[in-house]
Amino acid sequence: MKGIDVVLLPLAAALVIVGAHVTWTQGVVVSYPIFMLAVALLLWYKYRKTRQEEQAAPRDGSIKNKKRRR
């Protein structure tokens, strides 16, 4: 896991906490960008993790892990 992957998840969690505090003190309208930034960081973390798992998986063409349609 690279350094940015270690930082993204805690940073997103911290932004959720900050957003909750800003919601209580100033209102939802002011805290909306903070929550959206937290969601963007969570999606970026998920994207990086999924891409890393795909690169680590063997590409032998087998259908062992793929779901079959019926």
pLDDT digits (tens, 9 = 90+) for 10-69: 999 999 999 999 999 999 999 999 999 999 999 999 999 999 888 887 665 555 555 666
Kindly tell me the number of DSSP H helices and DSSP E strands found in the chain.
2, 0
Taking alpha carbons only, the member of 14, 32, 13 closest to residue 23 is 32
Domain residues of the chain, as ranges? Answer: 3-54
